[in-house]
Amino acid sequence: MKTRIAHVVNAVAIVAAVGIAGALYSKLPDPVPTHWNFQGQPDGFTPKPLGAFLGPAVMTGVWLLSLFTSRASARAATRRGPAVLVHTLVIVIIGVVSSASLLAAVKQSAPAGSLVRAHGMKDVSEED
């Protein structure tokens, strides 16, 4: 029974990640930042079509891998439950991280002029 709940959680997490990526797609820059340094600056980029849905694709791959490996193992009957729960945790973490990365990419891609005006500073690109 625990494995069925885990599979439902996996499916919901993947659908949610695809939904978030789809909702943010039009607001994402091209290329999409996929890696961030310690200062919060993007330092790794991926083309937009791949970058937006990379997280959900990895989540789906981990889920399929866990399905095949747990069924192929000779000891799967005794270890399937804990293994599936660990894979579910990994899938959910990947979903949270990829969604947070997409949200950060949208936030960083906001027009510079609007950020400058929001903070009450003069935009150097504007002419006097």
Q: What is residue 18's predicted lDDT score, i.e. its pLDDT?
A: 93
What are 61-95's pLDDT values in tens digits? 988 888 777 666 545 555 566 777 788 888 899 89
pLDDT for 30 equals 84
Q: How far is CA 91 from CA 14, 75, 95, in A?
A: 8, 23, 6
Instruction: Give 21's pLDDT tier (boundaries 50, 70, 90).
Output: very high
pLDDT tens column, 86-102 = 888 888 998 998 888 88
What residues contact residue 33 under an 8 Å CB cut-off, 6+ apart? 42, 44, 45, 51, 101, 104, 105, 108
pLDDT at residue 111 is higher than 90: no
For residues 112 and 104, what is the distance between their CA atoms, to the nearest angstrom?
15
What pLDDT sits at residue 23?
Answer: 92
Contact 103, 32 (CB under 8 A): no
Q: Where are the domains of the chain?
A: 2-108
